[in-house]
Amino acid sequence: MSRPTSKSEASSKPAADVEVAPPEKSEEDPGGGGFLQSLGQGGWELLTTWGPAFLAVFVIRSMLIEPFRIPSGSMVPTLAIGDNIVVTKFSYGFRIPLTRIPINELEAPERGDVVVFVFPGKDTGVKHWVDLPIPPFATVDYVKRVVGVPGDVVEMRDQVLYVNGETQDRRYIDDFTFTDDSCRDYDTKRYEETFGDQPHEVLYAKRYGGVIKDFGPVTVPEDHVFAMGDNRDHSYDSRGWGTVPLRNIKGKAQFIWLSWDTCQNNIPYFGDIRTDRMGLGIP
């Protein structure tokens, strides 16, 4: 005959296995999983929506056209400080998209072309291969006029430019006041100079202390060009740092699409818009 189990003995026995459902998660999920998941989904949607557009912009910029802003006065009067220009990237040859690697053999610019190029010696490492406007790929870019192509002999005598022993035609226009990026004025002489059939304007300093009277002769090596600023005595160019490799040339300057005069105060922090320069072609 079995003995009845006492209440204390019953309570000491282990309870039968019972399947317990996990607690339901709050919609707010204080653990943060839902927030991170939604953030990831939002980031993916942003990437898939805008990524192709940004990629297309970068491809167009690397292969077809690119805007540049003129920060200094080395190309005055052709390009004013604050001019924003459009450059065609395919003018001298195509490159693999988003890179600086030529697809075919690069062509040399013609004398008189205004070109944008990577400053020689500043295209080391990844900058030598990748063409993107963001660090660490962004480059130091200059804009100058080509005055000598491969094989040319370039020199200056008493402020007169000679190429292959021939004087480059120039005609005095007038006295010209050049204003630099610090809004300081300099007295110069303005001339019209001609390469081939295309005339353009150049400046020469009037004060002897600012004059670069003589240079060269220098022979332009193969696959290089000799570049100078149109503001001849206020330009740091091939006379100071040598010739430009063809591979460094990004493209040909075509026209001005916007121009700001930062020495004017009509618009705070911006200066004033030069409407008369907008749309001008670059000779």
Q: Is 6 a residue of the active site?
A: no
CB 119 within 8 A of CB 141: yes
Residue 182 structure tokens? 């610090």
Q: Which listed residue (62, 89, 144, 250) is catalytic?
A: 144
What lies within 8 Å, CB to CB, of 63 at 6+ separation is: 89, 90, 94, 95, 97
Q: Is 250 a residue of the active site?
A: no
For 150-167, b/e burial (b = at least 16 CB within 10 A) is eebbbbbeebebbbeeee
Task: Give the whole-angstrom CA distance, residue 128 versus residue 124.
Answer: 5
Q: Which of 120, 148, 154, 129 shows the shortest CA–CA distance to 236?
A: 120
Task: Give the whole-angstrom CA distance, residue 29 versus residue 35.
Answer: 8
Q: Which listed residue (62, 74, 235, 238) is catalytic?
A: 74
Q: Which of 60, 105, 110 shows the shortest CA–CA distance to 87?
A: 60
Residues acting as catalytic residues: 74, 144
